[in-house]
Structure 1
Amino acid sequence: PLVDLRTTARREVLLTNLASIMVGVAFYVVSLVLPQLLQLPTATGYGLGQSMVVAGLCVAPLGLTMMFTAPVYARLSARYGPKVTLIIGLLIIAIGYGGGLGLMNAAWQTVVTSLMLGAGIGLAYSSLPALIVGAVPASETGAANGLNTLMRSIGTSVSSAVIGMVLANTADHVNGVAIPTMHGFRVSFLIATAAVAAGLVLALCLPKPNRSSVPQLRASSEEDANLARAEEVLRGFRGRVLDAQGVPVARAKVTLIDHRGRQAGATLSGEDGSYVLVVPARGPYVLAARAAGHGPLASSATHTGDDRPVDLDLSLPGETVTA
């Protein structure tokens, strides 16, 4: 399967995905209600009689505020964590919908509602990926975040169906035309508020993150192995094998011998003469180097056992020719 179902069943992932559905429901309600309220004629007694352009401008703060809350989210999440940021976002959404029930009498009031809801939805939406990343292994973050995005889409789809049904069933029919009513708008806002309340309960049930085990994002097990090798290099000898004139010697064999005379490691120098040897423990060692066309070399060195590598170049003497 594309998604490991055992991962999605984890408490953190499951609750975050359910909260994502509730945020999706809350996000779409305002997009359905406010444009209709703004464009309904004033003859209805509650419509604001605005043009399509003005209605769009009144709802535009919803998206703009979501964009501008990104820096605020980064600071809040860094200090308090994504769970707290999600809770704050849901509280702001609840205040926005609760206040919006009484702010439907003028165009500027819908702007205030859009600003409040945009700030809350922006904070909530920004928190969801961080919660998912912190709850799954690094190798599954892509699939888990994709599933979380699907949950948000399910929320908006459910919202459009439910609110459409509510507005249709509460509409007044005038000359065969269905006109949404203020009662339908307020019921829609109440449904959104209930969804936010459910999302808030889910967010409060999220377990407290364990800061001592911060997830380390690595691309693969190969990268883990490379990192381990790099850490080992820090605890050894490194340098270059050179000839008598200082020219690098390739494919020279370098052997590490401990104080008991036993071989502790061996390697071949690279094309640039470089070599790396890992030490098993601190103490005195002998590095023996030899290469075809050159005399052998034995050089003593001591490693203190710390994480810093010991740099040691090995200069091979010219090969002696016996008559």
Structure 2
Amino acid sequence: MEAWARKGAVRLPGWLDRRLSRVATEPRGKASEPTPSPSTGPVHATVVHGFVRSPEGEPVGSATLTLLTPAGHQLDRVESLADGSYILAAPAAGPYLLLTTSPGYEPWTHRITIGPEATVHDLTLTEETVDAVN
């Protein structure tokens, strides 16, 4: 495991640290929208990261990953890198929806829980099936 990914030793690159600071301080939409964090204390930004793989275990580059609130509001969107890696910023620990799309693969939506520290979530996509027209 990379040193930066060990619990208690998370060191974020400057660009990500600035992005997380922005996400944590931006307004979160309508006041009636529930916040992901059940606490009433200060908001602490966090991340979810991992790898997107094919059924054969090959990396899937250029997959689009979108992090949504449980109510469906978009928080972050990225494309996976050539090695299949991705990292998404979340405003706080809590439940979220992760939507993944990539040409040639079935769209994938999953409920995830992001912890107060960096959360690892690897994905294996399913190849798209083509219906035969008779």
Question: Paired residue for 1:207?
Answer: none
Distance between the aligned counterparts of 1:309 and 1:266, measured in 2?
17
Q: CA deviation at 1:264?
A: 1.1
Q: Is 1:311 equivalent to 2:120 in the alignment?
A: yes
Secondary structure of the 1:229 match is helix
Deviation digits for residues 92-137 of structure 1, max 9, x if unmatched? Answer: xxxxxxxxxxxxxxxxxxxxxxxxxxxxxxxxxxxxxxxxxxxxxx
Equivalent residue letter for 1:322: D
Whether the aligned pair in 2 keeps the contact of 1:253 and 1:291 (CA below 8 Å) is yes
Distance between the aligned counterparts of 2:17 and 2:123, measured in 1?
22
Q: CA deviation at 1:282?
A: 2.3
Question: Paired residue for 2:29?
Answer: none
Tell me which of 3, 7, 14 is aligned to 1:227.
14
Question: Paired residue for 2:67?
Answer: 256
Q: Is 1:322 equivalent to 2:131 in the alignment?
A: yes
Equivalent residue letter for 2:122: D
Secondary structure of the 2:106 match is coil
Distance between the aligned counterparts of 1:257 and 1:314, measured in 2?
16
Question: Paired residue for 1:209?
Answer: none
Q: Which runs of 4+ in 1 moved over 2 A?
A: 230-234
Identity of aligned residues (%): 33
Question: Could you say which structure has the greater relative contact order, defined with CA pairs below 8 angstroms and 6 or more residues apart?
Answer: 2
Equivalent residue letter for 1:251: S
Q: CA deviation at 1:228?
A: 5.3
Q: CA deviation at 1:293?
A: 1.0
Question: Paired residue for 1:295?
Answer: 106
Secondary structure of the 1:319 match is coil
Distance between the aligned counterparts of 2:58 and 2:125, measured in 1?
10
Q: Could you tell me the TM-score, scaled by structure 1's length?
A: 0.28
Q: Which has the larger radius of gyration?
A: 1
The structure with the greater share of residues assigned to strand is 2
Distance between the aligned counterparts of 2:49 and 2:93, measured in 1?
15
Paired positions, count:
96
Tell me which of 74, 78, 86 is aligned to 1:267.
78
Q: CA deviation at 1:280?
A: 1.4
Q: CA RMSD in A?
A: 2.0
Question: Paired residue for 2:8?
Answer: none
Secondary structure of the 2:14 match is helix
Q: Could you tell me the TM-score, scaled by structure 2's length?
A: 0.65
Distance between the aligned counterparts of 2:82 and 2:54, measured in 1?
13
The correspondence of residues 196-211 of structure 1 with structure 2, limited to 5 A, is none
Distance between the aligned counterparts of 1:319 and 1:249, measured in 2?
14
In structure 1, list runs of 5 or more residues that go unmatched. Answer: 1-225
Equivalent residue letter for 2:64: K
Q: CA deviation at 1:295?
A: 1.1
Secondary structure of the 2:16 match is helix
Distance between the aligned counterparts of 1:274 and 1:312, measured in 2?
10
Q: CA deviation at 1:252?
A: 0.4
In structure 2, list runs of 5 or more residues that go unmatched. Answer: 1-12, 22-44
